[in-house]
């Protein structure tokens, strides 16, 4: 007969262990913040705007177009009439994006390894409902790590990662759960 208390404890262990690992990793290895890479550089108008509408030219030129095409952030300054003119192209967003990609890869590796370790350690515990909770926690961690990494991985790598994870879970299910149950029945 199924003991609902054991199911509840297994679910709580799975959720809380996964949350603990995710929050611990976030506390010791924080995600890059956009504001640390790209500063808002708005120039305040320091000169009064002349009476009447200033005649501003909103064609910023070839450098502006090239900046947008290359994925930069155009930065402006004001001229003597108070109109915005193109100043420079800032590529801070590229540096941020590179840092974010490295972070996503590292999170995948760190949390993925902890998840795999939890799955394996769950097969070793003798208290079945606690072992089930640890294994499900490992599966949640593996899922979380994979989802975090998928935005940065190409299509072929995604297929390879999912295939390896599937093989791992199938192997653990067969070797550690199915075979060990057969051995227990023989005894």
CA distance 27 to 22: 9
Q: Residues of the chain with pLDDT > 70: what percent?
A: 87
CA distance 79 to 86: 10
Beta-carbon contacts of residue 12 (< 8 Å; ≥ 6 apart): 133
Report pTM: 0.74
Beta-carbon contacts of residue 176 (< 8 Å; ≥ 6 apart): 120, 123
3-state secondary structure 64-121: HHHHHHCCCEEEEEECCCCCEEEEEEECHHHHHHHHHHHHHHHHHHHHHHHHHHHHHH
Q: Which range has highest mean pLDDT (1-5, 20-24, 48-52, 173-177)?
A: 20-24
pLDDT at 186 over 80: no
pLDDT at 99 over 90: yes
Specify the higher pLDDT residue, 1 or 94.
94
pLDDT at 45 over 90: no
Angle at 60 between CA 55 and CA 61, to 5 degrees: 130
Q: What ranges do the domains of the chain cover?
A: 4-31+97-182
Mean pLDDT of 108-120: 94
pLDDT of the residue at 39: 79
Residue with tokens 């509408």: 53
pLDDT tens, 134-145? 999 999 999 999
pLDDT of the residue at 183: 67
pLDDT at 84 over 70: yes
pLDDT of the residue at 92: 87
Contact of 121 with 154, CB cutoff 8 Å: no
φ and ψ at residue 47, rounded to 5 degrees: -110, 145
Specify the higher pLDDT residue, 140 or 60.
140
């Amino acid at each position: 007969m199924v003991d609902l208390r054991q199911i509840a404890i297994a679910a709580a262990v799975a959720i809380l262990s996964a949350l603990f690992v995710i929050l611990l990793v976030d506390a010791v290895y924080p995600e890059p913040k956009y504001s640390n890479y790209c500063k808002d550089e708005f120039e305040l108008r320091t000169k009064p705007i002349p009476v009447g509408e200033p005649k501003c030219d909103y064609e910023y030129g070839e450098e502006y177009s090239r900046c947008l095409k290359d994925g930069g952030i155009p930065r402006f300054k004001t001229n003597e009439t108070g109109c915005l003119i193109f100043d420079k192209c800032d590529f801070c967003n590229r540096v941020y994006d590179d840092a974010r990609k490295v972070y996503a890869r590292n999170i995948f590796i760190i949390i993925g390894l902890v998840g795999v370790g939890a799955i394996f350690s769950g097969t070793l515990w003798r208290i079945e409902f606690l072992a089930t909770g640890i294994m499900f926690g490992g599966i949640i961690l593996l899922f979380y790590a994979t989802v975090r990494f998928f935005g940065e991985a190409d299509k072929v790598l995604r297929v390879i990662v999912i295939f390896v994870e599937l093989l791992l879970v199938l192997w653990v299910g067969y070797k550690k759960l199915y075979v060990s149950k057969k051995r227990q029945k023989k005894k």
